[in-house]
Amino acid sequence: MATQGDHLSAPRRRRSISDPLAAALLPPEDESPEQRAERLRAEEEAKKRSQRIDQMLQESERQRRKRKTVKLLHAPAAFHAERIAWRFVIYLNLLRSVRRILDAIAPDPDPHMNGLEEVDEFEDTEPPAIIIGGSRPSSAYNNPQFENYHRRLAPLIELETRLIQQLSDTDDNDDKEATHLPSSGSVTWSSSGNGIPTSPDYGGDTGRTLPKINIPSGSRSSPASPTTPSTTSISSQSHTELAVPTSFNWRKRFALGKISSPKYEHSGELQGWWEDPDDPVHVLNRCAPVIIEMWRDPAVKQRLSEKWLRLEESSGFYLDEVERIAAKMYFPTDEDVLKARLKTTGVVEHTFTMGKNSEFRGVDWKIYDVGGARPQRHAWAPYFDDVNAIIFLAPISAFDQVLAEDPRINRLEDSLHLWNSVISNKLLSEVNIILFLNKCDLLKAKLESGVRLVHHMPAYRDRPNDYDSVSNYFRNKFGAVHQSNSPNKSRDLFIHLTSVTDTRRTRVIIYNVRDMVLTGNLKSSALM
């Protein structure tokens, strides 16, 4: 703020000054000594007042900047310091993979054959007709020993139920249903004393039509390509998704069995959950060799590939690391936590402050992690008002998968529609948008394994099916939707091809995003 005192001691000047404001501030020419003294005192007082106001403004600006919160809306894999609490989620992810294998190797349900004997019969006779793609196995070798594995893995039944119970908020709301892993479409662990699931539903694996992608609008369904059959089986069963309502502090409950050291005075030993005979780790640990045996079994592998079940590419895959994960003193690594799949329900808020050494120190970040599943999207709206940036993650590897919540809808098509509604929203027209075309690692693996985009997206025509061409195509598609439908044509759109589980590369991208958001944000508040 400018002060009036700068000219206090200035020599009298003639009134020829052209600036009317400066002229008005000059002392009157016929000023008496008393008047002058009075004027100087008043001016001195005004100067002090002005300085005080300046100080107050500076302080309040400092405080404001200190408190300044940059709000971001995004939906990435959440990352938490409470790694230990993720142990149970990781166990459950692992159990889910086991369940999927058992699903895949289970004998075909036949209303006329109901019992253990029939399984034995299968071994010698006609193999079960649950193979898609028309290639039914021709030898007994192709019949994995379902009953054998099912029986030996039975202790996991009780473990899964127990873990789910611990995840559920027993006192709480309807959402707790979401924490259950329903048995539909999946082997029913506890359904029959003879080891045969009572009524497994394999509908998801056979003859399902796979919707094709239609950009930017329309959701026509058309039959799946014979060469890219049912990866839908993975997602069609994923309504068995594990989720925890955000209202429930599961991390606290999961941080059971805290480690203390030393166990006894001077012993140097650690004491932890592994000493608790009821801890889930013991059952898992005992069953681990069977899980490993099943996963390595060539007959099982063959059955999985016949059913196009690529568990390696699905979320929460830990089957290659069972030995480590089922170890009694297993402590989840950062990477394990990143790989874990836990569906977000509601909106999860994270707040953190920039470190002391950061150029942007003192700035708080508020990050809202929102659930991407369809029933979760209504929860986003209240956050639209006051948000600086949106990080939108579109899993581009999902071009051949369908929504868990509606198997008629292709996942990528759903992402494009959602993308369209976010970028065309008028409330968000001034919001920075950063698009992560995510799961590029999985996209690459999928294309290399021979899955062809054109079979799911006819508009792709005869373009090359390699990673560079496909990812570029998606980049252009998402960019074009923004270009034609955004109410703010001058908004910069930042598109990154990401594999967010690759922390090293993602870190660089996040730093860029951070700087962009902060620079933009601080600029707009005239602080920079």
Annotated binding site for Mg(2+): 344
If the CB atoms of residues 150 and 417 are measured against ligand GTP, the closer one turns out to be 417
If the CB atoms of residues 363 and 447 are measured against ligand GTP, the closer one turns out to be 447
Least Å distance between CB 78 and ligand GTP? 6
Least Å distance between CB 135 and ligand GTP? 28
**What is the full DSSP assignment across 233-252?**
HHHHTGGG--EEETTS-HHH
| φ/ψ of residue 221, rounded to 5 | -105, 140
If the CB atoms of residues 485 and 499 are measured against ligand GTP, the closer one turns out to be 499
**Is 475 strand, coil or helix?**
helix
Choose among 30, 361, 357, 408: nearest CA to 210: 408
If the CB atoms of residues 147 and 313 are measured against ligand GTP, the closer one turns out to be 313
388 touches 70 (CB < 8 A): yes
Q: Is the peptide bond before 262 cis (omega within 30 degrees of 0)?
A: yes
From the list Mg ion, ligand GTP, none, which binds 373 (C-beta under 5 to 8 Å, kind-based)?
ligand GTP
- The site for ligand GTP (CB under 6 A) is made up of 75, 77, 315-316, 338-344, 371-373, 393, 438-439, 441-442, 499-501
Give residue for tokens 């120190």.
361
Choose among 379, 394, 88, 336: nearest CA to 246: 379
If the CB atoms of residues 495 and 500 are measured against ligand GTP, the closer one turns out to be 500
From the list Mg ion, ligand GTP, none, which binds 322 (C-beta under 5 to 8 Å, kind-based)?
none
Least Å distance between CB 114 and ligand GTP? 36
Choose among 416, 436, 403, 444: nearest CA to 508: 436
Segment interacting with Mg ion (CB under 5 A) among 57-65, 93-101, 342-350, 385-393? 342-350
Least Å distance between CB 341 and ligand GTP? 4
Distance CA(471)–CA(467), nearest Å, equals: 6
If the CB atoms of residues 150 and 310 are measured against ligand GTP, the closer one turns out to be 310
- The 8 Å CB, 24+ separation contacts for 253-256 are 253/166, 254/82, 254/84, 254/85, 254/86, 254/87, 254/88, 254/89, 254/166, 254/167, 255/82, 255/84, 255/85
How many residues form the binding site for Mg ion (CB under 5 A)?
1
Q: Residue 109 has which token pair?
A: 């349900």
Least Å distance between CB 46 and Mg ion? 58
Choose among 474, 510, 128, 501: nearest CA to 338: 501
Segment interacting with Mg ion (CB under 5 A) among 55-63, 230-238, 339-347, 495-503? 339-347
- β partners of residue 69: 364
Least Å distance between CB 344 and Mg ion? 3
If the CB atoms of residues 96 and 208 are measured against Mg ion, the closer one turns out to be 96
**Binding-site residue ranges for GTP:** 338-344, 438-441
Let me know how long the chain is: 528
From the list ligand GTP, Mg ion, none, which binds 439 (C-beta under 5 to 8 Å, kind-based)?
ligand GTP
From the list ligand GTP, Mg ion, none, which binds 500 (C-beta under 5 to 8 Å, kind-based)?
ligand GTP
Choose among 228, 231, 240, 239: nearest CA to 304: 231
Give residue number: closest CB to Mg ion.
344
Least Å distance between CB 242 and Mg ion? 11
If the CB atoms of residues 150 and 496 are measured against ligand GTP, the closer one turns out to be 496
Residue 7 has a CB neighbour count (10 Å cut-off) of 14
Check residue 344 for interaction with Mg ion (CB under 5 A). yes
Least Å distance between CB 241 and Mg ion? 11
Check residue 376 for interaction with Mg ion (CB under 5 A). no
User: How much is the CA Rg of the chain, to the nearest whole Å?
Assistant: 32
Q: Which residues bind Mg ion (CB under 5 A)?
A: 344
